[in-house]
A = this chain, B = another copy of it.
Amino acid sequence: MSKIRAVVFDAYGTLFDVYSVTARAEQLFPGKGETLALLWRERQIDYSRLRSLAAPDGSRYKPFWDITIDALRYAAERLGLPLDEAAEAQLLKEYACLSAFPENLGALKRLRRANLPLGILSNGNPEMLDIAVKSAGMHGLFDHVLSVDPVRQYKTSPAAYALGPQAFNLSAGEILFVSSNCWDACGATWFGYTTFWINRAGHPAERLDVAPTGTGHDMNDLLAFASPLVTATGVAL
């Protein structure tokens, strides 16, 4: 297994806890909040993949924030929920300003104290990532906040994953890519990263004939996994 010289994180659901969106949806549409949040998320991901797969040249690309709005409107319409401007604005504000999972800030700071360069590699466009990083109290913790926006291809496109090695000037195997989406960890493994799947929900692994290098329940498990792989600095995690 490669030694690790940097750690790169997926953003939504991995660093940022999207649960508050479901809670707000439930407040607005009692009894339908979870269904709305699930369908919203599903279409958000679907639209990203459909656009990238349909146009390897990026000509169908649309920024993730705009896709997020499209997906919310579809989900509400499909479920017959009266999404007026005020309700939409509340849900989008919730999505824009997420909190960090409770253990994440401490874990990120421990990684930084070990002098490990840190990054984000996200489908999110730069503007939404900037707001999210600040809202979650993570400003200044990352050497690179990478959006797929410049390459106009969403994950699991190789063009998207290539942004990590390019920014850090490392091979993919020297970078530990961390995601709470199993498909994202699998995609990064295909690309060549060393990977860790944070399986917070206890789901089975996706059946894609590839396994993340490591798996655990939260960011503390990530620290335990990463510790023996870190030699860049000699500073213990």
Nearest B residue to A49 via CB reads: B49
Main secondary structure of the interface of A (DSSP, over half): helix
**A157 contacts the other chain (Cβ, under 8 Å)?**
yes
Nearest B residue to A188 via CB reads: B54
**A55 contacts the other chain (Cβ, under 8 Å)?**
yes
**A107 contacts the other chain (Cβ, under 8 Å)?**
no
Return A79 CB to nearest CB of chain B, in Å: 10
> A residues 42-58 with Cβ under 8 Å of B?
42-43, 46-47, 49-56
From the candidates B54, B156, B186, B187, name the one contacting A156 in the complex (CB within 8 A): B54
Give A73 to B70 CA distance when docked, in angstroms: 31
Number of interface residues of A (CB under 8 A): 36
Give A47 to B209 CA distance when docked, in angstroms: 11
B50 touches A156 (CB 8 A): yes
A187 touches B70 (CB 8 A): no
A187 touches B50 (CB 8 A): yes
**A127 contacts the other chain (Cβ, under 8 Å)?**
no
A204 touches B77 (CB 8 A): yes
Map CB proximity to B onto A153-177 as digits: 1 under 8 Å, 0 otherwise: 0111110000000000000000000
A62 touches B158 (CB 8 A): no
Give A74 to B203 CA distance when docked, in angstroms: 10
Nearest B residue to A78 via CB reads: B204
Give A51 to B154 CA distance when docked, in angstroms: 13
* CB<8 Å pairs between A and B, sample of 6: A43-B206, A47-B206, A49-B50, A50-B183, A53-B156, A56-B157
The 7 tightest CB contacts between A and B, nearest first, are: A70-B207, A54-B156, A77-B204, A49-B49, A74-B207, A53-B156, A53-B53
Extra A-B contacts (5), CB below 8 Å, given A42-B42, A71-B207: A47-B208, A56-B56, A56-B158, A74-B204, A74-B206
